[in-house]
Amino acid sequence: MSKKLTAVLAGMLIASLIGFGVTFALAAAGVEPMSSIWIVSGLIGGFVTLGLMNLAGNKPVTLADEKTRAAALSLTPPPGTGLVIVLREGFVGKAQGMDVTLNGRELAQLKSPRFTATTVPPGQYVLKAAFAGQMNLGSAPGTATFDLGSGQVALFRLTTAMKMTTSDVVLTHLEDPAAVVRKLAKTKMVAATA
C-alpha cells in the first residue's frame, strides 16, 4: 500500500473514531449530539492526512561514520577535488525530508538539523533542494549554481521561507567556515549517496 493511501486511510480512521467517540460520549451523558462534531472530526482527520502525506516522501537515510564526518569537518578535500557541504537548519518542516541533488544526481535527503558532504572534481555545479512528499507541490525549490576548484570548499545553508500557504526552499552560500564548522560539530551527518 502506498504511503499516500495510508495517510488518507489514517485520516479517515481518526476522523471516524473522533466523531463516533464524541457522539457516543454525548449520547451516553444524555446530551443531543450536534452535527458540528462531524465537521470538527473531519477537519482533524484532514489535518492528519495532510501531515502524513507531507511525510510520505521521507526516505530512510544512513548516518555517516566518524571517519567520514571528521574528514568533512576538516574542510580539507583530497587532492584534485573540491568539497561541497549542505547544512539544513530551521524549524519549519523539520521532520519532512528535503531531497538535495548536485548536477541532477541525488546527493542526500536532509531533515533539520542535519548536514551532508561530498567531494567532487573541479567544475561548475548546480545544487538543488526541494521538499519530498506532498509539500513539494506548492513550494519552490532552492537552486544555487557555483564553480568549485581543486582544494576549494563550498558551504551552503538550506532553510525555508514561509509564505501564506507554502514554504519555499532557500539555499544560501556561507562565507564563514569557522562558524559553519562550529554548527556542524553539533549536527548529525547524513552519508551522501553521490
* Averaged pLDDT for residues 128-144: 79
pLDDT tier for residue 190 given thresholds of 50, 70 and 90: very high
The whole-number average pLDDT for the span 98-121 is 94
159: domain CATH number is 2.60.40.2890
Confidence of residue 5 (pLDDT cuts 50, 70, 90): confident
Cβ neighbours around 163 below 10 Å, total: 11
Q: Are residues 181 and 135 in the same domain?
A: yes
- The answer, yes or no, to whether residue 156 has pLDDT greater than 70, is yes
Same domain assignment for residues 47 and 119: no
> Both ends of the chain: CA-CA distance in Å?
29
Q: What is the pTM of this model?
A: 0.78
C-alpha cell at 186: 553539533
Q: Which residues constitute the domain of residue 50?
A: 3-55
DSSP, res 141: P
Bigger pLDDT: 55 vs 104 = 104
For residue 41 the three cell numbers come to 472530526
Residue 135: predicted pLDDT: 58
Residues 71 and 45 in one domain: no
Q: What is the mean pLDDT of residues 43-62?
A: 78
Helix (H/G/I), strand (E/B), else coil: 76? coil
Res 22: pLDDT: 82
- Could you tell me which residue, 91 or 138, shows the higher pLDDT? 91
Q: Which of 2-6, 120-124, 145-149 has the lowest mean pLDDT?
A: 2-6
Please state which of the ranges 44-53, 141-150, 176-185 shows the lowest mean pLDDT.
Answer: 44-53
Query: If residue 171 lies in a helix (H) or strand (E), which one and from where to where?
Result: strand 167-174
Of the two residues 131 and 190, the one the predictor is more confident about is: 190
Q: Under 8 Å CB-to-CB from 59, ≥6 apart: which residues?
A: 97, 109, 132
pLDDT digit string (tens) for 71-107?
999 999 999 999 999 999 988 777 788 899 999 999 9
Whether pLDDT at 138 is above 60: yes
Same domain membership, residue 83 and residue 178: yes
Q: Are residues 24 and 96 in the same domain?
A: no
* Alpha carbon distance 56, 46 (integer Å): 15
Query: Could you tell me if 48 and 11 are in contact, meaning their C-beta atoms sit under 8 angstroms apart?
Result: yes
Domain count, the chain: 2
